[in-house]
Structure 1
């Protein structure tokens, strides 16, 4: 147990405190996953085979979607400009948030974030309006991508650990997620005004190379493989300390997802021994709080990096939005 606790502490805090680890997170988690499985006494041929198989679908989805985005980036940019010109602005920005949120479970959270960056670069609003739009859209993408195992690593790992079917998460949290995405779209329509200005975000619209697309796909493969090994290695800790814990306590504890990648936390927390209600509370806590700060999930990191959004700027809107949404969902979970 002592060895697993040490690994858990390293996994939770090194990416947040050491820049080299943060910039090479996939390789770091891959190494930590091997160590956790070995220290936990679960490393065997079956687990190795499972860890090699789990990342395949999401890696292929990221690779194919990345290629399609590269090939169709120019017509997509023209289509965005045309749609923004023809559609009332409040409806247009609401559709951005809702459509990207819903599509992220199919096109992956990574590609949804790249499309968001392209849209923001085309719109050229004032900086604060663009930051609000990006934050709201990333909350939506983070929620929606969890509905299928190909959407993001968190959903891949959760479905694999629970040994469930493709649409399990859609059945478990689908209504909560879809209503939340629509609510974020309505908030976007009411909050963001069409003010154009010179100090807009500096979007990176340079077309990605095939090498960059391939490297990103390999990193996702290692990331998910590492999380599979981590989850298996941490099973003794989960069974001893988390199985019987009140799901509503876990819900609020998972606000750690604001500063730590939510897929990492999911791999460390979720177990097939848990009830559906506990898993639901864990997932919703992770998904919502993951949008509060930049490190919380993949779309935040991609969007903030390409649009030069600082951590302080993100937190100014992400924290209050996340806290309000967390409180609303907590009440809903208590009732239903």
Structure 2
């Protein structure tokens, strides 16, 4: 009987994952209300896996607060001082040209997201993209490139994002004795080329001037929109916490005793499942260094494929009004190619 219940639980959790992966692209209403849909998926996953606890409820209510506060405060600051940012961006383009502006935007924000945090880096990125005189599709593409870069760059220190925090915490003891610069030493050689690549892809979009001299204060979004966006981010993060906790039994059952090559592709789940959750299950001090590199590379790359995969994606998509299908149309081709390239290179070198 217990085995039948376990099979039923795994089946239902698999269906929840399938729904989270497909319905935003198949049902327009789901795409429009993605935050509510993911929250329902999270509630269902926690219920199916019998994971409800006071601690989980408290975590789901508390953890989104800091991110939401950052989105709210910086939203208000950008409303107040956005014209200054517009002047700075225009000045950089005048001195360097549009290609260099786009290259520097993606590369520098990606690199310094390790100290700015992924949240602040994403907010700055979205604010800059809003200022550019490019098409909506080009803005989506630029946001995708920038969020991939932030995903790579923010892992270089334990303060960059939750994924890096968890990895360093789990490897503090022997044999790695991970310190503040552990991930920089481990992943730096694999991350810097990716930052250059995504910055170069962004630079290719600079075929014409993309900013204009600001005339006074730029049109500021209303406070109502700032508060609505902050509320949606809160709901999004809470949903991912519930979804990650509810799907832990499925993840643990799926990844047990698998090779690093298999885990690399299974980590594609981080497109909808918080990559920090998968890291908390997979990362162990007993893993060899080569396997750690494999796992972290796949978690970073898969996290950029869909909007729920990473906090920067969520913030940029919310601030720029990017829908699930629009994001996937730009992110899946480059992301999947990058996953294949990294898999081949890592397999050969490591």
Unaligned 5+ segments in structure 1 are 198-204
- Does residue 246 (structure 1) correspond to residue 292 (structure 2)? The answer is no
How many angstroms does 1:229 deviate by?
1.8
The one-character-per-residue Cα deviations of 1:39-59 (angstroms, maximum 9, x if unpaired) are: 212211122222222222222
Q: Superposition RMSD on alpha carbons, in Å? A: 4.0
Q: Does 1:111 align with 2:126?
A: no
Distance between the aligned counterparts of 2:66 and 2:181, measured in 1?
16
**1:114 Cα deviation (Å)?**
1.9
Change (3 A) 1:24 1:158: farther
Q: 1:293 to 1:130 in 2, by over 3 A?
A: same
Q: 1:10 aligned to 4, 19, 27, which one? A: 19
Q: How many pairs align? A: 315
Change (3 A) 1:157 1:215: farther
Q: TM-score, normalised by structure 1?
A: 0.73
Cα 1:32–1:327 change in 2 (3 A) is closer
2:222 match = 209
1:1-336 equivalence runs, <5 A: 1=6, 2-3=8-9, 4-104=13-113, 106=116, 108=119, 110-121=122-133, 133=142, 135-145=144-154, 155-156=161-162, 159=165, 173=187, 176-189=190-203, 191-192=204-205, 194-196=207-209, 206-255=219-268, 262-264=271-273, 266=275, 269-275=278-284, 281-289=294-302, 291=304, 297-298=313-314, 301-302=317-318, 305=321, 311=326, 315=329, 318=331, 321-334=334-347, 335-336=349-350
CA distance in 1, matches of 2:36, 2:140: 30
Q: How much has 1:208 moved relative to structure 2? A: 2.0
Deviations 1:269-322 (A, max 9, x none): 44435446666545533433455677864367358746x99849x84x655533
Q: How big is the shift at 1:140?
A: 2.1
Contact 2:113 2:150 in 1 (8 A): yes
Greater displacement, 224-233 / 286-295: 286-295
TM-score, normalised to structure 2, is 0.71
User: What 5-or-longer segments of structure 2 have no aligned partner?
Assistant: 1-5, 173-178, 211-217
SS in 2 for 1:41: coil
Query: Which of the two has higher C-alpha Rg?
Result: 2
